[in-house]
Amino acid sequence: MKEVQGCLWEEAPAVNGQELERTLETLAALGDFERALGDMYATCARVWSDDAKFWARFVEAETRHAELMGRIAGLISSDPASFGPGRPLTAAATRAQVEYIKERTRKFADGSTAPRTALLVAAELERSVLEQRFYELVATDDPEYRSLVKTIVGETEKHARWLDERLKADA
């Protein structure tokens, strides 16, 4: 028996065919989500230049997260039999979040948003299902996948703590 995402299966069903296409499309959208976050944080660094170092830490990590989403997609596409269908996360829902981030970024860029609002939006996004539970898109025991997920989730949790600390300090 094989334990995958807390379930015991004789053999996990493989992500293949249409499911593989959907999974890869969703991972591409998740990469766009991470890049959009990085762009939003870069805008925050420009608009609130006295906090540029604070925001720059996020920019670097989100850029890396986008790259890791590409690596995850590569793992799945190279060996789909090692990955089973997981949580139904869609590219369309992810793209809607990307559009939300882009809209917030435009509002931040015009300087009419308070810095605290930017912190609140960032904290909300860092705690979103896309950031916290994206890894449930597939079920697997693949050690490289688990390592990549651990990196992204760990850094995302760190981001949420940094934002909470800043919000408390600015209260």
Q: What is the DSSP string of 55-110?
A: HHHHHHHHHHHHHHHHHHHHHHHH-GGG-EE-S---HHHHHHHHHHHHHHHHHHHT
Domains of the chain are: 2-169 (1.20.1260)
Eight-class DSSP state of 14: P
Q: What is the pLDDT along the chain (171 residues), one digit of tens a residue?
A: 344 444 444 455 677 788 899 999 999 999 999 999 999 999 999 999 999 999 999 999 999 999 999 999 999 999 998 998 887 788 999 999 999 999 999 999 998 999 999 999 999 999 887 677 788 888 888 999 999 999 999 999 999 999 999 999 987
Sequence-separated contacts (24+) of 143-148 with Cβ below 8 Å: 144/75, 145/72, 145/75, 145/76, 145/83, 148/68, 148/71, 148/72, 148/75
Q: CA nearest 44: which of 153, 152, 125?
A: 125
CA-to-CA distance for 109 and 106, rounded, in angstroms? 5
Query: Which pLDDT value is given to residue 136?
Result: 83
Q: What is the pLDDT of residue 42?
A: 98
β-pair partners for 85: 138
Predicted local distance difference test score (pLDDT) of residue 92: 92
Q: What is the pLDDT of residue 12?
A: 54
What's the confidence (pLDDT) of residue 5? 45
Identify whether the C-beta of residue 115 lies closer than 8 Å to the C-beta of residue 54. Answer: no
